[in-house]
Each structure stands twice: as structure tokens, then as C-alpha cells.
Structure 1
């Protein structure tokens, strides 16, 4: 066994190694809150959304587009419970999900995955889903634009990505409407990207970082 009994750098070496191992943490986490658009309310999921959530789980088009399995009622409830917990972004891998409510019912959701936190290249991945019965009214576009506003103005992302199944024409069309452009293709999946400039969102100051401890 090798033991390091003395660090001649006065601790700087260990601090540098720790910085490499631990991801940067946002100084101020982005916390889920209500967002209102002309027709929609975006808000964190609640367990009382169970009836609407079961309709989402039962929607074959959603399951096919996202590769979800057909879950039992108990599994679907657990999935909803997990979604209620995704309410902040602080370190890479964090997920924030907002239910999309119309006339008192949840018709889908939008989400942000924090991928990287370096201020110059901060990246988030957006996702969306919507009940088939709610398609064709522009709700998904409206909700996604609100979430992009959060990504660029509050998270201060430099880049937002989305991963689209090339067979999902509806999702691909939505990404195009939002201004995303194709950046990479892997089999059936296409990665599309968007910046604040191409989205028409004014530039915002860059968030400062602190190293996680």
C-alpha cells in the first residue's frame, strides 16, 4: 500500500485533484416555480395529478416516442412520484420537470436536464411530452418556449440541446419551429441545438460558479 504522508504543495495538489473529481456547482440553484403563458400554467408536478398522469402513461404515442414501457398502475404512480421530486438544477445530471396545465388538467410536461455547468459552455437538454388529444393547438410550442426562457434567462445556458427520434415527425417539427438545428446524428436519433441568440432571447450576464465541496 502507498500512503501520501506529505503534500509539498501545501494542499494545493489535493485541492486540484478534488476539483477535477467534483463537478462545478451553480452558485444559485435554479428552482422550479410557476410559469404562466397566455394559455398555460407550467408548475411542478403534484401527487394529486395522478388521474391526468395515468392518461399520459396510457397514451401509446407518448410511450412510443419516448421509449417508455407499458407500466402497471403501481409503477406509473412511482414514476409520477419521481417526477414530483425533480424541482431544481444545481449539478450536472440534475433534472427539472414542469407539468403543463390547461383548464385545470395536466396535458403534458417540459423538462430540463443540466448537462454541464461551466459558464462559457453551460448546456442543458430540453424534453417535452404532450397528450395526443391535446396536439394541434400549439400548446407544446408555447410550453417549450417558456422553458427555453428559463434555460437561457435563469439557468443562463449557453446552449440548449434536444434529442429527437427521426421517426417522430411531430417532435422534429416542434424543434424546427423553436429554431433548433441538427448537430449530430446517431442511428435513429438526431441531436439538435439552440442558442439564446438563435432563439431570439436577449443576452444575459453569465452566472458565477463555485466548486462543490
Structure 2
């Protein structure tokens, strides 16, 4: 004799519905040291800002490209460049991978986006200048600038020329209200460069200096320079 089986009850299929995560979960995810997906990164610019090509009296600023690999390896292996940067020494292979990432940083749209431009002199890569979008809201839109120039070309004003061109782009095209510069407290040359550009010191933790430049300060500084 076989045992009678209990009747089975079929559970109706449930529709698949996407629900936005709770605010607590979103807050937790934002604190993770990972690149957040765009839907978590808040406001967007009114229009996407893409990497420009800028010509100054002596330099060209343009997106990085794979053909820069040898020059980039030499540049980011320069002990004087690495001295004040949190970059590890890289093999040629790691340097090419680093450069490949930089070639992709060509647009700004949301907080956290990064744009890097090669600094070129007479067809040769000599440095890098970058913008990091920190705040999107037009009332306090803020970017952070970075610059580096190889030792061979230091002392000729190239970093100042490249940084000033990038600041012009930040204030005119990105429509930033403020630009900050953060640097190692021991990096006196970069500190003096920032002060020449009109930046004001706003914080010094003993390990890092933070400087701030407003759009109005930059325009006044440019007007004074043009009047000389």
C-alpha cells in the first residue's frame, strides 16, 4: 500500500518589480570606497562637458592617447614628480594601464567625474593638468585642479601656463564658482604657483594644504595681468 500524498498548493507567480533602495542603504553604499553608479551620484550638469583641446602661447592641452605611453612612463617615473604625489612606482605595463585609464577621463557630468589633459610642448608630452568635479549645484559648483610638469621642463612657467588655461576652462565652460587645489604641505613650488594664480590658503592640516580660488578672484587677477 502506498502512502497518500498531500495535495500541493501552487503559489501564484509574483511580478518582478524594481524598488528603489531605502535611504539608509543608499547612505551606506555612498560610504563604501567604490566608484558609485551614476544613479547614486546626485545632480547632473545642465550639459555634459567634454575634454577640450586648448592652445596657449607655448603649449597644447589635449586628451591623453596611447601613443604617449613612453613619455608618460618617463614622466610618472620622475622622482621629483612622485615626491609629492600619492602615486606608487609603476612598471611599464602598469604605467600603460594607468595611461589607458587617463585616456578615458574625458567628460564631466556628475560629482566625482574626473578629466585629465596632456600638456604638450613642441609635440612632446611634458605634463598633465586635471579637473575633478566636486560639487554640481550651480550656486556652489566646485572643481579641484591638479597639475604636474616633468623635471626637465620645470622653472619655465609651463605649469602656470597650463593651469591658467585649465582654470579659464573651469570658470567659462564648466561654469564653476570655485576651484580648489590640494597639495602636500611640503610642496612649496606648487604652493607658490597657486598663489601666483590667485588662490588663497583656506586649510593646512600639517600634511596637506587646501587653497581656494573663486571665479571673481580669477577674473580680477586676469584683468590685472592683462593691464600690465
Return the TM-score normalized by structure 1.
Answer: 0.83
Contact 1:152 1:201 in 2 (8 A): no
Q: Are residues 146 and 78 of structure 1, via their aligned partners in 2, closer, same or farther at CA, if it must alter by over 3 Å?
A: same
CA distance in 2, matches of 1:110, 1:122: 19
Contact 2:201 2:212 in 1 (8 A): yes
CA distance in 2, matches of 1:201, 1:27: 27
Deviations 1:96-121 (A, max 9, x none): 11100001101001000000100100
| Residue matched to 1:82 | 101
| Residue matched to 1:175 | 194
| Residue matched to 1:128 | 147
Shifted more, 22-31 versus 83-92: the winner is: 22-31
Of 93, 108, 112, the match for 2:127: 108
Of 33, 44, 47, the match for 2:63: 44
| Residue matched to 1:191 | 210
Structure number with larger C-alpha Rg: 2
Deviations 1:65-124 (A, max 9, x none): 112111111111100001100000000000011100001101001000000100100000
Q: CA deviation at 1:57?
A: 1.7
CA distance in 2, matches of 1:186, 1:40: 34
User: Superposed, which structure 2 residues align to 1:1-213 within 5 Å?
Assistant: 22-200=41-219
State the aligned residue count.
186
Return the TM-score normalized by structure 2.
Answer: 0.78
Q: CA deviation at 1:201?
A: 6.3
Specify every segment of 5 or more residues in structure 2 that has no aligned partner in the other structure, as ranges: 1-19, 27-38, 222-228
CA distance in 1, matches of 2:56, 2:62: 11
RMSD: 1.8
Q: CA deviation at 1:33?
A: 1.7
Contact 1:149 1:201 in 2 (8 A): no
Runs of 4 or more, structure 1, over 3 Å off, are none
CA distance in 2, matches of 1:54, 1:22: 33
CA distance in 1, matches of 2:95, 2:105: 16
Does 1 or 2 have the higher relative contact order (CA < 8 Å, sep 6+)? 1
CA distance in 2, matches of 1:57, 1:118: 34
CA distance in 2, matches of 1:22, 1:82: 20
